[in-house]
Every structure is written in C-alpha cells, then in structure tokens.
A and B are shown apart, each in its own frame.
Chain A
Amino acid sequence: MSIEIKNISKSFGSFTALKDISLKIENGELISLLGPSGSGKTTLLRVIAGMESPDPNPDSQVLFFGEDVARKPVGDRKVGFVFQHYALFKHMSVFENIAFGLRVRPRSQRPAESAIRDKVHSLLNLIQLEGFGNRFPKQLSGGQRQRVALARALAIEPQVLLLDEPFGALDAKVRKGLRDWLRSLHDELNTTTILVTHDQEEALEVSDRVVVMNQARIEQVGAPDDVFHQPASEFVIDFLGNVNVFHGRVNQGQPVLENIQVGGSRESIPDGEKANVYVRPNDISIDRTPTGKSSMAATVTRINRAGVHAKISLELSSKEEIRVDVSMEQLQELHLQLGDSVFVHPNKARVFVPDFTI
C-alpha cells in the first residue's frame, strides 16, 4: 500500500522529534528509515502506526492509499508492528502469541478454531519454527523470538509491515541471516515494509530506498546506491560508512588542502571559504613516490590485515590521521612497514563548503 506523510511535526515537551517531515512510500516498497538515535526515525514509524499523534497542524496528513488515517486508531490501520525487544506475550505459548490477532477479533469476524490453527501452522512454517508452537518465549533464542514476533504481526495480514530496529538486539551473525530472510519474505508477501535501523549496512543492503534522518529532519531519500555515492550532505557521507575528512580552504573556486587541489571546481564560491573534503578509505591510493599534484606525504602508523581489505592508518605531515583501505595484493606489492614514508593520493573526493549549503 502506498503511504504518504505530509508536513508532520512532533515534539515531546521542548524536544523536537520530527520537524516538518514529508515522505511518499510506494506500494510494495521496502524502505529504511536510517539515522542515529534521537534522529526521529522511530517516532516517524510510530506516527505512521498511530502510536504517536503528530503535533496538531492543519497541513499535516498521514495517508494510506490516499485516505487520511489521522483519526484512525492503531488497531484499525492494519499495520503489522515489530518491536526491537520483540514484545512477545511472555505468558503465552508461541502458538497463542501468533494466534492473538485472530482471537481478539469480534465474534462475527473471528475465524473458526480450525482456521486459526491452520493459519498459525502455516506461519510457523514460514518462519521455519514448525514444532515450536508449544514453547514459551523465554525458551527461544533472540532470533527465534523476533521471527515469532514477525509471524504474530503477519497473522492479521497487514497491509504494511513496520519494523522498529527489529534486529538491533541480536548478535551480528544472526542479524545478517535475518536481514536476508526479511528481504526474501518481503518479496514473497508483496507487502509494503518500513524498517527503522541505525545500522547503515543493514539499510543499504536490504532496502529499495533509504531515508537518512538526522535531528528530526530527512537529510536524503534515495536508492542505496544514490545515497552512498551521491550523498546530499556532510551528515549523509559521514553516517554511511567510514570516511576521511580534510579541512581546507577554497582557492580560485577549488578546494585546496595543504596546497593540493582536490575535487571539482565550484566557481561561485569566494576564495578563503572553508571547505570540507570527504574521501572514503578505498578512494585513496598509496604510492612510494609522488604521483602528481594531489599527492600528500604520510607516515604509516598502523596496519590491520584482519578482513577482506587491509586497513592502513597514516599520519599526514599536518598531524592529521587518515585511513586507507587497500587490497591484500596491493599491500604485498607495496611491502608496507610501520613507520614507512609514503605518498597518498585521493582519487575521488566530495567537497562540502559548510556556509554554502543551499
């Protein structure tokens, strides 16, 4: 189902959780709300679910398929909500947890006992927990509990699935497995899914689109590819993965760093303005000799070989610390040792001039 949010603000006392948020979510989309804690992502999800009401404003609307649901209580919105800490009913078996949404229906709409049983069993099958129906939540692992919570939400056949940091309390390995499973489940069920997460890797990997949030506002909305490679702001580039930041000045329309020119020209910017230059660790090359105008002298301070790439820490002559990722082959070729003097060269940089963000 398509969901449209228009001019939503929400404050708790003096704290602003959402500031004039507008967003359109397409039918069948898996979209992530990504941001640090306190950025407003969970509040936005709860506003969509109806668990929080937005600040009163005649222009603000929450539309499900074009219909304003502002006055609709949570139970009538047909949303499946999954909580970070599962919120399973502790005193009920797995079976009863999943059956809950069917059992609480008014008598006229309640399925027969046999239909409930069939439904629960097919959901247990879906979450690969057949035979766990009689267990209680505390007898399950975290990953299993979250799958039960998802099955419970799916039992009411929701039009939209809202997941609030669903894998946040799980360890890395389980998290990755469940993430892939969620993506295939989403494709299979053909629902609209909104996933709140602070894990950029998770958001970039499973989503059709990512909404990057910061300080109650949306910083950028786009496909994972776009937000990663075309970040709209300093916050976005900084939040999505490791990045080196250099503080330079603009000279003749170009950012200058230690008298080295980087990045594209920005002619409209007057000279002397501060420029922040962001370079991802894998966009820097290391050479034994200077390779051109942009090379900077640096000293190797740390080499970490654990991982797919080797992570090299270097210190520039300005005492700035930078990180470079090189492949294992490159590391071999370079024969890098601690304390070696080398030259680094940014291949690709993004420049933000703080006072000129439009």
Chain B
Amino acid sequence: MSVNAKDLQTGSNDPLWVRTTVITISVAFVALMLVLPLGVIFFEAFRKGLTAYLKAFQDRNAVRAITMTCLAAGIAVPLNLVFGIAASWAIAKFNFRGKGLLIALIDLPFAISPVISGLIYILVFGMQGWFGKWLEAHGIQIIFAVPGIILATIFVTFPFVARELIPLMQEQGSEEEWAAISLGANGWQTFWRVTLPNIKWGVLYGVLLCNARAMGEFGAVSVVSSNIRGGTNTLPLHIDALYNDYNSVAAFAMASILALLGVVTLVGKSLLERKLEQESISSLESKTTEVS
C-alpha cells in the first residue's frame, strides 16, 4: 500500500471521505446541541436590550434566588470538600472492612435520579416522614425550606471531590506521608505540609465540578423546595418559574449567569487538567529509574 505524506502527518490511513464524514458529524453535533443553545441563551437574554437584561436582576425574587443558590453551594461545597478528602484519604491510605461498600456508596448519587434523592429527603424529613412529627413538634422545617435545599444539594454533589481524589491519592501512595511521620511530623503537619500540597490541583478540580453541579442542580432541589417565588427558590428553579410565566427575557437573563458559570468552569477545568497531567507525570517520573 502506498503511503502519501498527508497520511503520515495525520497518522491515519482512512480514506478522505471517512475522515471528512466523521469530523463533520462531530462538529455539527457539537454546534447544534451545545454551541447553538448557548448562543440562544445570550441572544434571548439581550433581545430587548441591555436595560431589560439588567432589569431582570433588580427583581427581588431574582436576588433571593441567586442568594439561595450561593448559600446552598456555599454550604454544600465546603462540606463535600471535607468529606471528599476524608473519604479518599481513608480509601487510599488504609485498609478496613467495608471499604468496597464505601467506594460503591460514594457513587450512589451518580447512579440514581436526582428526583429520587429529593424524594428520599421528603420521606425522611417530610411531614409524613420518619422524623416529620418530631421535627414539627420542635418547630424545625426542613422540607420546603432552606435546609431541604441544602441537604439535597449536598446529596447530589458529594461524589465529585472524592471521585477525583481517590485515584490520585492511590497513585501517589503513602510513602511521602511515612517519610514525614518518621521525621517526627504529627498527623496534622503531615496533612498540611505533605498530603495537601500533593493533591491541591485535584482538590480544586473536584471543587470546581462540585460547585458547578451544586449551583445548577434542578431535579433534587425541585422536589424539596416549596416552589414559592422569592421563598426557597434556587436559580435553576427561578428560571423555570420565569419561563413558565412567559417572561423569557428574564428567564434567559438568569440562565445567562448559569451559562457563564458553565463556561468559566469549563475553562478552569481544562487549565486544571493540564496541571493534573503534569502532576501525575512528575509523580510517575520520580518512581521510575533515572539516568544519572
């Protein structure tokens, strides 16, 4: 078979029509399904001009929804950060009974529908739920209130940090920690001076994805929220409500914030991925034989 220079360049021997078709399909799909809707969001948001766009943010309910979203993410992300680091530390560095089960359970929120996760909380904390009577007697409202939204957000976002850190920490092993301990460092010093600097990019990556999901979650939050405008609505719920009211400019204006968050997340994600790649290369390098 003859090989021409162009084939060598692309490293492929497939005929031109195959390559063209595959590339066209992928690009067209991405354009149609991802880029176009993203463009539509901004187009619709600014359709009646900048003033109308900005006016959407002056609405009291909009401000409350944004605050609510930030609050839910502000609580869920730090909690999941602590949980994620603790869980991945435990899984990567220790052997204990039920380790496999813990790993499987961490993935649970990925495996079940967010609506179900919302319903679980209603079953547990709702009026007819297990703790409903007790909570009511003590004047604590969880479901259809702020705590419910926060709980649901924590539930759907808790795999992100742990999922990112478990393989990273397993790959790095615990030799550096042992070295630190043998040099007299206590657990706290070992964590802050040795473990954390080694996983910092992975942590940031997990936090970024966790935050994006926490702010964008709809299903689980929708079940536990009261859907009262200006009450316990988050941004995605508020957008839904606005849209149902045919207030499309306001809906798209709100959506543009989430879309922007998505774009920022995407850029941050690619930057961090590059950092992470360097990190794992350097940890691999230090494990192989070097020339002297």
* Interface of A toward B, CB cutoff 8 Å: 49, 51, 73-75, 79-81, 83, 85-91, 100-101, 104-105, 137-138, 141-145, 149, 152-153, 155-156, 169-171, 173-174
| CB < 8 Å neighbour of A87 from B179, B288, B292 | B179
Report chain A residues within 8 Å CB of B286: 85-86, 88, 90, 137-138, 145
Known A-B contacts: A75-B185, A83-B175. Give 8 more (CB < 8 A): A74-B181, A75-B183, A75-B186, A87-B175, A89-B193, A104-B189, A138-B286, A170-B290
| CB < 8 Å neighbour of B289 from A81, A104, A171 | A171
Report chain A residues within 8 Å CB of B175: 83, 85, 87
Q: Please determine whether A101 and B184 come into contact, CB atoms closer than 8 angstroms.
A: yes
Known: A75-B186, A101-B183. A90 touches B198 (CB 8 A): yes
Q: Give how many B residues have a beta carbon under 8 Å from the other chain's beta carbons.
A: 26
**Closest chain A CB from B276 CB (angstroms):** 14
Known: A74-B182, A75-B181, A75-B184. A87 touches B289 (CB 8 A): no
* Secondary structure call for the B interface: helix
**Closest chain A CB from B8 CB (angstroms):** 34
- List 27 A-B residue pairs with CB atoms under 8 Å apart, sorted by A's residue number: A51-B182, A74-B178, A74-B181, A75-B185, A80-B182, A81-B178, A81-B179, A85-B286, A85-B287, A88-B176, A89-B180, A90-B283, A91-B197, A91-B198, A100-B180, A100-B185, A104-B184, A141-B290, A141-B291, A142-B289, A142-B292, A144-B292, A145-B286, A153-B182, A153-B183, A171-B289, A174-B292
Q: Please determine whether B290 and A79 come into contact, CB atoms closer than 8 angstroms.
A: no
Q: Please determine whether A87 and B282 come into contact, CB atoms closer than 8 angstroms.
A: no
Report chain A residues within 8 Å CB of B287: 85, 169
B14 at the interface (CB under 8 A from A): no
Report chain B residues within 8 Å CB of A73: 181
Q: Which of B172-208 contact A (CB under 8 A)?
A: 175-176, 178-186, 189, 193-194, 197-198
In Å, the complex CA distance between A120 and B169 comes to 30
B245 at the interface (CB under 8 A from A): no
In Å, the complex CA distance between A104 and B180 comes to 9
**Closest chain A CB from B181 CB (angstroms):** 5
Q: Please determine whether A104 and B182 come into contact, CB atoms closer than 8 angstroms.
A: no
Report chain B residues within 8 Å CB of A169: 287-290
Task: List the 7 closest A-B pairs by CB distance, nearest first.
Answer: A101-B183, A142-B290, A87-B175, A104-B185, A81-B182, A141-B292, A87-B179
Residue of A51, A80, A90 ringed by the most chain B CB atoms within 10 A: A90
Known: A90-B282, A138-B282. A104 touches B186 (CB 8 A): yes
Report chain B residues within 8 Å CB of A173: 292
In Å, the complex CA distance between A86 and B282 comes to 14
- Closest B residue to A177 by beta carbon equals B292
Q: Please determine whether A89 and B289 come into contact, CB atoms closer than 8 angstroms.
A: no
